[in-house]
Chain A
Amino acid sequence: KAGVTQTPRYLIKTRGQQVTLSCSPISGHRSVSWYQQTPGQGLQFLFEYFSETQRNKGNFPGRFSGRQFSNSRSEMNVSTLELGDSALYLCASSAGVGANVLTFGAGSRLTVL
Chain B
Amino acid sequence: ELKVEQNPLFLSMQEGKNYTIYCNYSTTSDRLYWYRQDPGKSLESLFVLLSNGAVKQEGRLMASLDTKARLSTLHITAAVHDLSATYFCAGPNQAGTALIFGKGTTLSVSS
Contacts and interface: CB of A to CB of B under 8 A. Distances in A.
Interface residues of A, number: 21
A35 B90 CA distance: 13
Size category, B interface: 20 to 34
Interface of B: 31, 33, 35, 41-45, 48, 88, 90-93, 95-104
Interface string A6-26: 000000000000000000000
A42 B101 contact: yes
B92 A98 contact: yes
Nearest to B102: A42
29 contacts: A33-B98, A35-B101, A42-B101, A42-B102, A42-B103, A42-B104, A43-B88, A43-B104, A45-B98, A45-B99, A45-B100, A48-B98, A56-B95, A56-B98, A58-B98, A90-B43, A92-B43, A98-B92, A99-B31, A99-B91, A99-B93, A99-B98, A101-B48, A102-B45, A104-B42, A104-B44, A105-B42, A106-B41, A106-B42
